[in-house]
Structure 1
């Protein structure tokens, strides 16, 4: 590789590459170390090393015969290699006017014999040298031996080029990647150096997806490079930077006191939170910094945990978050559950449905039940739906899970119909279901397989699930209603809809969220909201179901307000099918009697406790 011309531009390029590759600050590189050990044996010298030149100094690394050290560039042999591709050989430095006055010649390590070859990149930039020396003079080596050193230097240069390949190098930003981040951090750990890993996450993935759709991949790559340059200005000049993913970067802090680390993190939060200018386009950032001490106990897959910590900091708008082992344990449990869910779907004894009675408040008669999913994990025990369903909704598993529930619930409704039981079944569906174009067709197929009267079925959907593809959602709900299936809006009052949207909702039933029912008999505001909602819904033609009825007083208040239906632990807990049948025989007659004689409370008692 021919030397590149010595220009200011080339020097800036050389220093930037040296810094980005982290060649100076990288922990001991096994390939470099093995190469210098081989050179020491082949050339029978006591000292061998690989040196890297920054703007002012020469850093001797991967040393044999001495500890790594640094000397001023002006006091080095290496500076005389910059304009040549050939090895430099000095038989006795004391008698060479170029080197006799160097400190390393006049004092420790008392270099007499020196042999060095430049390490150049493919474009001819000299990053360093492979050099050998002795404290005693030596006779000049033959040209064949010098060629051997030149070939070994070429191997070292090839290793540097390897660091620039995709194995350790990000082609978009020309930064070392996550794999190099891991190896460099673990090299520092092995060397006993205290190290703190930091990940900076600037955007949510959904924002990046929208950016690419709107601007294209080329502009997205440009944004990555703009973020890199912005971080470069904020970090210390010698700080290596790594790209860990789209709009996600990392760096390692070591040999830095805690106060300096904190000041740097605060500066990053201040400078990276807000608007980033990209080609005149203001880009709104939402920074999350994840911080983890690798000196303390840390998980084996620490990079995953670090990125998750940064992602949480961004999502929670906290700016900066330090790794928390307990929080990470929740991530590992979530991963374990997601990994186990496909097997649960295939097994016969893990997933099941339980049924919670829903009664007509005026008569106390149970005319329908809500089907609720349960999971009995073979090792972890019962897993609540509030834990595993949100996890499934982040993956394609939610489709399989939803179809399993639909099949089981519709199959059970058909079984009850054949037995002459007059029970309807309400089934919860998700936003993912309503945004799936095949959902209605799949439901139709199930009705053909289990020919239950569709009027025995009701699909419950939350308000927020109606915020996706509005046209598709309304088409699907309209098609389902045409089949005769009822539609209920679940958890009403907790989402983004307001009362003016009631007239537009493609539904038959409104379910009042339990949060309004829980304090109904103690909070005047809750009673006003519920009473007004019941009255307005009735005027618009909706039936009203109240969830979370846990006391006789709450039931009586709702009955007095004109609420149509109710469910909750006071009425009946979720039960397996055999237990439900026993409950219907024993408990329902009591409910019918209690609702008929329930006292009517004063609805707007201004002296009631809030």
Structure 2
């Protein structure tokens, strides 16, 4: 609770400071409202009081000689904390305020109404004070609230919180919020409303266009879209420019989703034709239904944006908000945020180890280590769910570093116990273009006092293709260290032959999607047999993943595959359980005394 209060206070202060109101000169516009408040209540003191972190600063004041007082035990501070009207008929009769600075200076009466932004942050209060106790009528309180609304309107007017976007000429996000609030008041509660958000281009298109074209490109896209929307929608309907390349409009009264959706889809077909002929852009539209009187404007905007993002991959480029899809997105967002904490914890992440089997001898010659996450509230999160989320974020480098550190620490412990193992860590695409990545690998090996040949890095074909020149330079530097390289998920990329002959790789791992149910698929058997032959002709050792039955194993043995792994042999094991697993020394064992495990243990983050 304390943490939440601190976050809310930080956001409130940020909203206040962004307005640049504190310590500014007096303004007649505010003074006029303050004088009106004093005259209305027939009191000698009134002020527009803004609540800073440690003080109450008066933007406008009547009957006050100083421009600020300490926030501690100041009633306006309580108004800022609660966002509610506060009335103190007699400060001397109030247990909390009787010893305050105000009471000591002779103030007996206080009434204050909150100054609240459109985003819900309370900046402070408009207040009236008197030297005698008094009662307050409901009419006076209503008038004080109205005066608070006038102060906020003046703040917005004076600090560029305008209502029209300069480029599109359309009402902006602030106007949408205000009009939505009016809709809630003017329409019968419980009726259905519909909103549609039009996204002019995909995020990737906007990034590429602004990098490759003139800076005026986006302005032209917005201007053309606004003109087309005005002509298409016609007079009498408001269109809102709610984000850089996003527009929002509301349905006419009485519209239903069944009747309005086909119209939106028709207009989107026209928009797509226009956009593709004039701009490198693919617009999409998200439609959301809401209940008038029971829905927040920002919630409608967020849901419409979520639906518009889903619409990018829709055949019609129109999508209706799905609570299920939204829940999945919010879960992914939570997992991404919570994973930051997981990386710093000591009990959420761990590596487990799945045996790798030598086909010729049927013996365990190593293991693949897999990342596991046990969330403190959500429980076990499968890697198929959290790894793709991390891979698309800025956490991929930190995750690789964690896995590398953990795998090398485990390897050192095994070697200290007489087990010599080789650790293989899967790296993400960002690692291959990361400056100094090879150096960080060398530092990790030195820190754990391990030789370079005990480590192998696994790289996917798609990772190499993102920035081939930088990736190859990084791989060459890693190979120069003496660290092994493996091509992971072979066959799922799009440049296998070109890069197989160039990469200094020792191992090729055939993806499990080619191996499962292999025994009943003649075409797949021919493909896997060709993969094995090609890889071996280029000097690579071949590992087949996902072996789950003896028929598949028999085929791979006949095809000449050297290693396999899968549930036919064992599920992933905890570190100690794997150490107890029978792993006789293979012909590839490292020259280390007292070996009871063969050298190939693979630690893989399946990115």
Which residue of the partner structure matches residue 465 of structure 1? 463
* CA deviation after TM superposition for structure 1 residue 375, in Å: 0.8
Distance 1:446 1:501 in 2: 28
Which residue of the partner structure matches residue 295 of structure 1? 291
- Asked if the contact 2:460–2:490 (Cα under 8 Å) also holds between the matched residues in 1, the reply is yes
Residue 333 (1) aligns with residue 331 (2): yes
Match of 2:279 among 258, 280, 283: 283
Structure 1 portions without partners, runs of 5+: 1-34, 43-151, 589-610
- Asked if the contact 2:461–2:496 (Cα under 8 Å) also holds between the matched residues in 1, the reply is no
Name whichever of 380-389 and 168-177 sits farther off: 168-177
Name whichever of 180-189 and 459-468 sits farther off: 180-189
- Asked if the contact 2:202–2:283 (Cα under 8 Å) also holds between the matched residues in 1, the reply is no
CA separation of 1:167 and 1:569: change in aligned 2, threshold 3 A: farther
Distance 2:182 2:399 in 1: 44
Which residue of the partner structure matches residue 372 of structure 1? 370
Match of 2:433 among 422, 435, 449: 435
Deviations 1:570-593, CA, capped at 9 Å, x for gaps: 12211210121233379x9xxxxx
Distance 1:370 1:551 in 2: 19
- Asked if the contact 1:435–1:473 (Cα under 8 Å) also holds between the matched residues in 2, the reply is yes
Residue 516 (1) aligns with residue 511 (2): no
TM-score for both structures, normalised by structure 2: 0.66
Distance 1:393 1:271 in 2: 36
CA separation of 1:506 and 1:203: change in aligned 2, threshold 3 A: farther
* CA deviation after TM superposition for structure 1 residue 451, in Å: 2.2
Which residue of the partner structure matches residue 271 of structure 2? 272
Which residue of the partner structure matches residue 188 of structure 1? 183
* CA deviation after TM superposition for structure 1 residue 465, in Å: 1.0
> What pairs with 1:71-110 in structure 2 (closer than 5 Å)?
none
Q: CA RMSD in A?
A: 3.0
Deviations 1:325-350, CA, capped at 9 Å, x for gaps: 11111112112212211111111011
- Asked if the contact 1:362–1:559 (Cα under 8 Å) also holds between the matched residues in 2, the reply is yes
- Asked if the contact 2:170–2:241 (Cα under 8 Å) also holds between the matched residues in 1, the reply is yes
CA separation of 1:435 and 1:179: change in aligned 2, threshold 3 A: farther
> What pairs with 1:101-120 in structure 2 (closer than 5 Å)?
none
CA separation of 1:553 and 1:200: change in aligned 2, threshold 3 A: same
- Asked if the contact 2:275–2:282 (Cα under 8 Å) also holds between the matched residues in 1, the reply is no
3-state DSSP class of the match of 2:517?
coil
> What pairs with 1:205-220 in structure 2 (closer than 5 Å)?
205-220=203-218
Which residue of the partner structure matches residue 247 of structure 1? 245
Which residue of the partner structure matches residue 312 of structure 2? 314
CA separation of 1:161 and 1:417: change in aligned 2, threshold 3 A: closer
CA separation of 1:161 and 1:380: change in aligned 2, threshold 3 A: closer
Which residue of the partner structure matches residue 174 of structure 1? 169
Structure 2 portions without partners, runs of 5+: 1-32, 41-146, 587-607
3-state DSSP class of the match of 1:545?
strand
Which residue of the partner structure matches residue 28 of structure 1? none
Deviations 1:506-527, CA, capped at 9 Å, x for gaps: 4222111111111211000010
3-state DSSP class of the match of 2:501?
helix
CA separation of 1:260 and 1:556: change in aligned 2, threshold 3 A: closer
Distance 1:434 1:481 in 2: 13
Which residue of the partner structure matches residue 528 of structure 1? 526
* CA deviation after TM superposition for structure 1 residue 182, in Å: 3.6
3-state DSSP class of the match of 1:175?
coil
Distance 1:316 1:368 in 2: 45
CA separation of 1:583 and 1:305: change in aligned 2, threshold 3 A: farther
Rg (Cα) greater in structure: 1
- Asked if the contact 1:274–1:286 (Cα under 8 Å) also holds between the matched residues in 2, the reply is no
Distance 2:328 2:384 in 1: 14
Deviations 1:241-276, CA, capped at 9 Å, x for gaps: 122323221111131433652343022221121452
> What pairs with 1:62-73 in structure 2 (closer than 5 Å)?
none
Match of 1:360 among 358, 361, 372: 358
Which residue of the partner structure matches residue 261 of structure 1? 260
Distance 2:383 2:554 in 1: 30
* CA deviation after TM superposition for structure 1 residue 170, in Å: 3.2
CA separation of 1:186 and 1:462: change in aligned 2, threshold 3 A: farther
- Asked if the contact 1:275–1:285 (Cα under 8 Å) also holds between the matched residues in 2, the reply is no
- Asked if the contact 2:193–2:255 (Cα under 8 Å) also holds between the matched residues in 1, the reply is no
Distance 1:436 1:554 in 2: 39
Distance 1:170 1:423 in 2: 63
Which residue of the partner structure matches residue 492 of structure 1? 490
* CA deviation after TM superposition for structure 1 residue 415, in Å: 2.3
Distance 1:486 1:189 in 2: 65
- Asked if the contact 2:161–2:174 (Cα under 8 Å) also holds between the matched residues in 1, the reply is no
* CA deviation after TM superposition for structure 1 residue 500, in Å: 4.7
3-state DSSP class of the match of 2:370?
strand
- Asked if the contact 1:288–1:317 (Cα under 8 Å) also holds between the matched residues in 2, the reply is no
Distance 1:318 1:460 in 2: 40
- Asked if the contact 1:417–1:452 (Cα under 8 Å) also holds between the matched residues in 2, the reply is no
Distance 2:504 2:173 in 1: 49
Distance 1:333 1:440 in 2: 35
Which residue of the partner structure matches residue 225 of structure 1? 223
Which residue of the partner structure matches residue 347 of structure 1? 345
Highest RCO, 1 vs 2 (Cα 8 Å, sep ≥ 6)? 2
Distance 2:315 2:437 in 1: 35
- Asked if the contact 1:546–1:567 (Cα under 8 Å) also holds between the matched residues in 2, the reply is yes
TM-score for both structures, normalised by structure 1: 0.66
Which residue of the partner structure matches residue 114 of structure 1? none
Which residue of the partner structure matches residue 382 of structure 1? 380
- Asked if the contact 1:189–1:195 (Cα under 8 Å) also holds between the matched residues in 2, the reply is no
